[in-house]
Structure 1
Amino acid sequence: MHQTGTQNPVIQFIKHGSLVLQILIGLIAGTLVAVLFPGLATNVALLGDLFIGALKSVAPILVFVLVTASIANHKRGQKTRMGAILFLYLIGTFLAALVAVIASFAFPLTITLKQTSETLNPPGGVAEVLSTLLGNIVDNPITALGNANYMGILAWAVGLGLALRHAHGASKTFMGDISQALSLIVRAVIRLAPLGIFGLVAATVAETGFDALLGYAHLLAVLLGSMLFVALVVNPLIVFVKIRHNPYPLVFTCLRESGITAFFTRSSAANIPVNLALCKKLGLPEDTYSVSIPLGATINMAGAAVTITVLTLAAVNTLGIQVDVPTALLLSLLASVCACGASGVAGGSLLLIPLACSLFGIPDSLAMQVVGVGFIIGVLQDSTETALNSSTDVLFTAAGSYSDRTVPIQD
């Protein structure tokens, strides 16, 4: 008699097992391959490149369709709580910069400035950052999709969605169907995350090793310590004030299911599909998270604010410049504004360090050397920064969406 019984346990685990556990296995396997078989590690790097490429390719069109469909099908009188979420984004970024200032005063840093061979084009001032953001908003929609310009994508999606609210029901239904189809594609891509992270970890460890980071242990300790403090103390406190319940189940869920993936992709933009899937899993309203997640990938940059502040103050200490409290507060505000202008790609925040250094009269020739130091430690700094930025997008979206509920979100 033919058995239709159980599948192989390994296949069952691959198809339906915990994605987080699979990612952890990929992480360990990638590290072992890099250490034991460094030659092989460069070959499996293709898996990581393909995974990031798939995320980056699907994210712009997914965001465009989701936002358009959500606004087009939005019912009048239904709350989206975008104002509350936007406030959480801004206050979280500012408090992160303030934490970095306090940490830099408590543990003063000096660095050995070295020349960098990187070709960089930092902005010339805050006005230029804001001008670039405004220019991105009015970008051509095709160009915006092609270049993953999420401010432009959001602007056109909101405009088209508002226009489609007056369309026939069939048009709205079509947009909803396209949205669901793209969501299925995204879920398939995300299931490949363990293989992608296996390739990313193997290639990164094989290429950089750990020796290059030892010389900057003190700097990394302040940077990563500040980011962890924001993730585990400041953000939970903000969420507690908002929802009046224990925030840590939600905090750890976001760090585990969004932060881990973002740590290895090192791109808030590439992690947008992961965050959208997590928001759906948490039961958040789609017409809220379809807008707040891509917006957060653009302006919710607590990790970037920490990086800009710590490295700027390290340069200030190295050069013997005295900083008073009002100037430190001004730096926190400037770092917050700069962070909102950081691109959602690997190393995006480093190019804004010269802008913050200009507050203290540090010339570009020295400021760019600080950026060079940032690239040296970027394998850990940028990964942790992105994990904080991206996981906080979901955290604050959930807090803003559920602040009026009597039961906190549970895993």
Structure 2
Amino acid sequence: MNKSKKKIGLFTKIMIGFSLGIIAGLILKEKASMFAFLGTILTNMLKMVVAPLVFCVIVVAIANMGDGKKLGRISVKTVSIFLVTTLLAILVGLVIANLMNIGSGVTIELPSETTTASADASITDTIVNIVPDNIFKALSNSELLQIIFFALLLGFAIIKMGDKGQKLFDFFKLGQEVITELTSIVLEFTPIGVFGLMANVVGNIGLEILIPYAKAIIALYIACILYLVLVQAGVVTGVFGGISPIKFLKEMKEPMAFVFATCSSVANIPVNLRAAKRLGIDDDTANFVIPLGAVVNMNGTAIYQAVAVIFTAQIFGIDLTFTDQVMVMITATLAAIGTAGIPGSGLVMLTIVLSAAKLPMEGLALLAGIDRILNMGRVVPNIVGDVATAVIVAKSEKTLKTDRTETV
């Protein structure tokens, strides 16, 4: 009898927790902070599994390919798609933000001395920090770019070892299976953690916080939705991937709900992998593209950078020329690629873009109060872009099985 009952899916559970959290926040106001610890527990649990999961998945994905030419081919395709789609995302964000004049109506006088930052130094630091000086330190601090860099090299080394590297390969493959199972256990706590997160945010900020920033928030969500539906589902997966946009969006509803609630692209990796495999993407491609994309492919964050720049410029009464906005596109692409998929990191990376556009750093303070709300919207295109990229790569490698119907 129990088997005949329909099991409530993760998507439904997350939305229930999300809705109850909002209700609790509106009723209890500041007292809803008592539930904040639930969100902290969820965040800590997710961080606990992310580093070992990414490490094992990347090593196994590289070593399992075996064919160096194939790996190089997939790497070039993946990075190229990431760059092109990120530039498109920034363009969409700039167009929507300019059309809506999101910072108009209120002009804030600039202080006599404004905070500045060095974009060149930040970009250089990002590049240098990709190479770890201590992999164990990188693992303990969840420095994901460093972990991926080392995992890529280790995977190559296992390939070069040939049969001698089989035992090490088997070790990481077993590690991947164990960490994946552990992640599934952690995911069961997600609805409870989401309840705590939303109750705390709504209780302390309140829905009225949306009013001063309404146009900026609406612009971001419109840009993200248009980009997701038209570019990612329509063009990338529909035109180039050969998969129905409706089917693609249907399979992505659970990952989108999960990342919308948790605001963590990296923590979404296991859910994204399941969706990718349901779409018929082969394991080798999915296990390589999606973990890599969770760190370096930030389409939604790129949209956010564009919207935030226009918002900051207009609210401070600064005119941005066409050349200035081109610079924003270039810099935001670099910033998005260097942004780790964890909550709040986009706000930090915005310093690079604001500095490149010679805008006051005070814009950060204005956006910090609603960063969580903006983050919830921008992370969705982040994770959808990873799967969309994997579709194209698998299609080009002739490994995409569009008739696959099994569940993972």
Taking structure 1 as the reference length, what is the TM-score of the superposition?
0.85
Q: State yes or no: 1:175 paired with 2:172.
A: yes
Query: Contact conserved, 1:249 with 1:409, CA < 8 A, in 2?
Result: no
Q: Name the aligned partner's letter for residue 159 of structure 1.
A: L
1:214 counterpart = 2:211: yes
CA distance in 1 between counterparts of 2:49 and 2:365 reads 32
Change (3 A) 1:172 1:42: same
For 1:373-384, list aligned pairs within 5 A.
373-384=366-377
The verdict on how the C-alpha distance between 1:112 and 1:407 changes in structure 2, with shifts beyond 3 A counting, is same
Secondary structure of the residue aligned to 2:130 is helix
Task: Tell me the amino acid that sits aligned with residue 183 of structure 2.
Answer: V
| Residue type at the aligned position of 1:316 | A
Distance 1:226 1:324, change over 3 A: same
CA contact (8 A) 1:126 1:338 kept: no
- Equivalences for residues 282-301 of structure 1 within 5 A: 282-301=279-298
Cα distance change on mapping 1:99 and 1:131 into 2, 3 Å: same
CA RMSD of aligned residues (A): 2.9
Are 1:47 and 2:57 an aligned pair? no
Structure 2 unaligned residues grouped into runs of 5+: none
Residue identity matched to 1:141: I
> For 2:303, which of 299, 306, 329 is the aligned residue?
306
Any conservation in 1 of the 2:276–2:286 contact (CA below 8 Å)? yes
Of residues 250, 255, 259, the one that matches 1:258 is 255
Counterpart CA distance in 2 for 1:408 and 1:323 is: 49
CA distance in 1: counterparts of 2:202 and 2:318, whole angstroms: 37
- Offset at 1:320? 4.1
Change (3 A) 1:127 1:285: farther
> Is contact 1:114-1:369 (8 Å) kept?
no
- CA separation of 1:33 and 1:242: change in aligned 2, threshold 3 A: same
Taking a change above 3 Å as real, the CA distance of residues 402 and 40 of structure 1, as seen in their structure-2 partners, is farther
Does the CA-based 8 Å contact 2:296-2:336 persist in structure 1? yes
Q: Amino acid of the residue matched to residue 284 of structure 1?
A: I
Q: Which residue of 2 aligns with 1:65?
A: 56
**2:343 aligned with 1:346, yes or no?**
yes
> What is the identity, as a one-letter code, of the residue corresponding to 2:144?
Y
- Do structure 1's residue 91 and structure 2's residue 84 form an aligned pair? yes
The letter of the residue matching 1:293 is I
Query: Is the Cα–Cα contact under 8 Å of residues 123 and 352 in structure 1 kept in the other structure?
Result: no
Q: Give 1:244's aligned amino acid.
A: G
Q: Aligned partner of 2:293: which letter?
A: G
Measured in 2, the distance between the counterparts of 1:313 and 1:39 equals 32
Structure 1 residues 130 and 295 mapped into 2: Cα distance closer, same or farther (>3 Å)?
A: farther
Residues 395-406 of structure 1 mapped to structure 2, 5 A cutoff: 395-403=388-396, 404=398, 405=400
Which SS does the other structure have where 2:129 is aligned?
helix
Q: How does 1:263-282 map to 2 (within 5 A)?
A: 263-282=260-279
Q: What are the equivalent positions in structure 2 for 1:9-408 lying under 5 Å apart?
A: 16-38=7-29, 41-76=32-67, 79=70, 81-110=74-103, 112-113=107-108, 124-126=118-120, 128-165=122-159, 166=161, 167-236=164-233, 237-254=235-252, 256-362=253-359, 367-403=360-396, 404=398, 405=400, 407=402
Distance 1:397 1:105 in 2: 32
Query: Once the two structures are superposed, what CA deviation does each residue of 1:117-173 show, in whole Å capped at 9, x if it has no partner?
Result: xxxx98611453243233232341111111111111111112222222322533332
Q: 1:124 to 1:230 in 2, by over 3 A?
A: same
SS in 2 for 1:267: coil
> TM-score under structure 2 normalisation?
0.86
Give 1:283 shift.
Answer: 4.5
Contact 1:99 1:226 in 2 (8 A): yes
Shift of 1:113: 4.5
**1-side partners of 2:44 and 2:313: how far apart?**
38
Structure-2 separation of matches of 1:350 and 1:173: 40
1:61: Cα distance to partner?
Answer: 0.5
| Aligned positions, number | 393
Distance 1:181 1:337 in 2: 34
% same residue: 25
**Residue identity opposite 2:221 in structure 1:** L
Deviation at 1:114, TM superposition (A): 9.0
Report if the CA contact (8 A) 1:402-1:408 is conserved. Answer: no
Q: Distance in 2 between matches of 1:318 and 1:200?
A: 30
Residue 300 of structure 1, CA deviation = 1.0
Tell me how far apart the structure 2 counterparts of residues 56 and 115 of structure 1 sit (CA, whole Å). 39
Between stretches 301-310 and 235-244, larger displacement belongs to 235-244
Are the equivalent residues in 1 in contact too, given 2:122–2:352 (CA < 8 A)?
A: no
Shift of 1:57: 0.6
